[in-house]
Amino acid sequence: MRSIWQGTLAFGLVSIPVKLYSASEDKDPRMHYLHRSCLQPVRYKKVCSACGQEVTDSELALGHEYAPGQYVLVEKEEMAEVSGQDPQDRRIEILQFPHAEELDAVYFMKPYYLEPQAGGQRAYQLLRKALEGASRVALCRLVLRRRARLATLRPYLDQAMALETMHAPDEVRAVTNLDLGDDVSPSEPELRLAQALIDTLAGPFVPQDHPDAYRERLSALLERKAAQAPAAAERPVGEDMGDLLERLRASLELEGAHA
């Protein structure tokens, strides 16, 4: 695995050098939009909606639509300033240690693995075991992808720790507008039958028992189609117009030199 971030984890006066790795990955087969008649990928261009001109990456800028069709330009330096932290800050700052059950899973965004670097293993394991013994997690803040983010750090399996980025409180939608049937009261016999069904299906969660059936079926379909597809014609190497013009010019120069 390749780390996506490295810095230090501040645990009191102890600084633990660490690296961050994505704990999950998308394994769905990659799909492309094709031109049906040519069976070749369709390219997308960045085009200005006003003048119709294609825009290069160097011409792109960030902006905010404050009214319909009205935008203000926001420079990268201004984005860094409002983040409240230096984008180059390489610290994971521990804010507090709440109980794990106090954090609802709806706040969690993306999981990462935290790995100690040379000289930090002992302090890393000390923090992990202390969290495990106290049944608590570490509420942290770090700058990830140029933005300050809230995260939790918790023991994971026997030796590791996992860090999960979190949504801000106002990003989690309320359930007050949902029709949840608050006026419905199940009867005692209904509750007993529902509990009996739950007890029948009770058991530990074993991830390997729940493979991604959709991905398996999609992969099998794509393998069958690839086996049935006609062999692709070999494309001449270097036969694009730029290479051809250069070789023609070189040929003319060579012929001129021999004349």
Provide the CA 185 distance to its chain's centre, in angstroms.
Answer: 41
Given pLDDT bands bounded at 50, 70 and 90, which one contains residue 236? Answer: low
- C-alpha span between 169 and 210 (Å, rounded): 31
Number of domains observed in the structure of the chain = 1
Q: Report if residue 161 sits inside a domain.
A: yes
Q: Is residue 61 part of a domain?
A: no
Task: Kindly state whether residue 194 falls inside one of the protein's structural domains.
Answer: no
Report if residue 177 sits inside a domain.
Answer: no
Q: How far apart are the first and last CA of the chain?
A: 60
pLDDT tens, position by position, 84-107: 656 567 889 999 999 999 999 999
Q: What is residue 114's predicted lDDT score, i.e. its pLDDT?
A: 96
pLDDT at 26: 87
Residue 130 lies in a domain: yes
pLDDT surpasses 60 at 187: yes
In a domain? residue 222: no
| Residue 203 token pair | 């058991």
Measured CA to CA, the distance from residue 9 to residue 152 in angstroms comes to: 12
CA nearest 50: which of 38, 63, 40, 37?
Answer: 63
Structural domain contains residue 87: yes
CATH number of the domain that 121 lies in?
2.40.290.10
Task: Please give the pLDDT value at position 211.
Answer: 87
- Average pLDDT over the chain reads 86
Please write the tens of the pLDDT for every residue from 150-162: 999 999 998 999 9
Q: Which residue's structure tokens are 């639509």? A: 65
Question: Which domain range does residue 120 map to?
Answer: 5-25+71-169
Provide the pLDDT confidence category of residue 228 given band limits of 50, 70 and 90. confident
Residue 60 in tokens: 């792109």
Answer yes or no: are the C-beta atoms of 114 and 160 closer than 8 Å. yes
pTM: 0.74
Interatomic CA distance for residues 209 and 228, integer angstroms = 32
Q: List the alpha helices (DSSP H) in the chain.
A: 76-82, 121-134, 188-200, 213-228, 241-258
62 part of a folded domain: no
